[in-house]
Every structure is written in structure tokens, then in C-alpha cells.
């Protein structure tokens, strides 16, 4: 990035002010005229590098930030990302503060594209919603993915080993399972008409 022209003038004046008084320094000074642009470029370069401290603004250190933060995220779509998308992901990775409360997970679901998703926490119930869960039901919770979730049905052009119906948001499930408290088990529910399919 080219430095601002007025920085040359600023450094020229600064260097002139450092010179001792006397007629020897009167008039043009090629030495100062040569030093000022170099100092201005160093100044501008320092400003540019200061911006790199913030991953959301990084232009030059994005690859290094990716390595430090374990990106690209294996949970996310491996498609090529724009610089703006990479900056947003880096910003979220570096600055997201974790939590074990409902609001934290709802915010993650919003960032993943599901602002209307809801959570169901079974520890608030007096009895198990499903007897098959045994006495561990209090450690389960469920994410209800709204109707816009991708649900794919087998068609006549599908592979012969394809399931009759396949649903799920791999990225959402991967992220939430990675963030969920280690002593809990998260379930995901997807709408199928008037009912929900869970897994």
C-alpha cells in the first residue's frame, strides 16, 4: 500500500527540526529529501501491520492465523471462501467466548444460519421423555432444527444404496457436538410434516 504523500512532508519537517542551526543547512537538502520518503514508508508499514493484530481485518497474516486457529474448520463446507468469509470465521474463532448456557448455543445456531432453532433441556422435566434413555436422561438435550433444514429423499436417479430419506445439517451438528458440555448428549430433531425426526 503506498504511503500518504503528506507523510513525506511531515518527516522532512521533522528531520529539518532536528538539524543544528546555521547557514550550512539553508536551502534544499537532498539527504533529507531522500530520507523522508523511506521513513514515511516505514511509518505506513507499521500502521498496516497494526491492523493485522485484528483477525477480522487481516490481509497478510490470514494463512498464519488459519494455522494457529486450526482452520479451515473440518465442520464447515470445504468450498473456497472469500477473504471476507475467512475474516469472519477467524474473528469468530478468536473472539467467541464459550459457555454452557442456552443463550450461547442459540447464538451459535444463529451464526450457522438457523436463527429460529430452539433447544429443549430435559433436566427440567419431572420424568424421562423416553424410557429407553434410562437414568441418564437428565444429561440429554435436543436441538430443534426448523423447517428450512435440508431434507433429501431418494429418487429414481439416486444410487441404489442411498437411504429412502436423508436429513441433517452436518456442519450444524458437527459444531454443536464439538461445543456441547462433555457430560451431555445432544440430539437433533428435524421436521417431517407434522412430526420431527430425531437422531
The pLDDT tens digits of the residues spanning 12-47 come to: 888 888 888 877 777 778 888 888 999 999 999 999
* Statement: residue 147 has pLDDT above 80: no
Give residues with Cβ within 8 angstroms of 116, minimum separation 6.
Answer: 146
Where residue 184 falls (left for φ over 0; alpha for ψ -120 to 50; beta otherwise) is beta
Task: Tell me the pLDDT band of 152, cut-offs 50, 70 and 90.
Answer: low
So where are the chain's domains? 5-51, 54-95, 99-198
Q: What's the pLDDT at 117? A: 92
- 3-state class (DSSP) for residue 105: helix
Burial letters for 135-171: b for 16+ Cβ neighbours within 10 Å, e otherwise? eebeebbbbbbeeebeeeeeeeeeeeeeeeeebbbee
The pLDDT tens digits of the residues spanning 74-122 come to: 887 777 778 888 888 888 788 777 778 899 999 888 888 788 999 998 8
Q: What's the pLDDT at 126? A: 75
The pLDDT tens digits of the residues spanning 109-145 come to: 888 878 899 999 887 777 777 777 777 888 889 999 8
Amino acid at each position: 500500500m503506498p504511503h500518504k504523500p503528506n507523510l513525506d512532508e511531515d518527516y522532512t519537517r521533522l528531520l529539518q527540526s532536528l538539524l543544528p542551526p546555521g547557514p550550512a543547512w539553508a536551502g534544499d537538502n537532498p539527504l533529507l529529501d531522500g530520507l523522508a520518503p523511506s521513513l514515511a514508508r516505514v511509518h505506513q508499514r507499521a500502521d498496516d501491520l497494526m491492523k493485522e493484530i485484528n483477525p477480522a481485518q487481516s490481509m497478510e497474516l490470514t494463512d498464519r492465523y488459519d494455522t494457529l486457529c486450526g482452520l479451515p474448520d473440518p465442520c464447515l463446507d470445504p468450498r473456497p471462501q472469500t477473504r471476507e468469509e475467512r475474516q469472519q470465521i477467524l474473528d469468530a474463532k478468536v473472539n467467541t467466548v464459550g459457555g454452557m448456557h442456552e443463550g450461547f448455543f442459540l447464538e451459535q445456531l444463529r451464526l450457522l444460519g438457523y436463527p429460529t432453532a430452539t433447544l429443549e433441556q430435559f433436566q427440567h422435566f419431572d420424568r424421562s421423555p423416553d424410557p429407553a434413555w434410562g437414568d441418564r436422561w437428565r444429561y440429554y438435550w435436543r436441538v430443534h432444527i426448523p423447517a428450512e433444514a435440508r431434507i433429501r429423499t431418494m429418487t429414481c436417479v439416486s444410487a441404489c444404496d442411498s437411504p429412502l430419506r436423508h436429513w441433517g445439517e452436518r456442519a450444524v451438528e458437527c459444531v454443536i457436538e464439538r461445543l456441547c458440555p462433555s457430560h451431555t448428549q445432544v440430539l437433533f430433531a428435524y421436521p417431517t410434516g407434522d412430526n420431527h425426526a430425531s437422531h
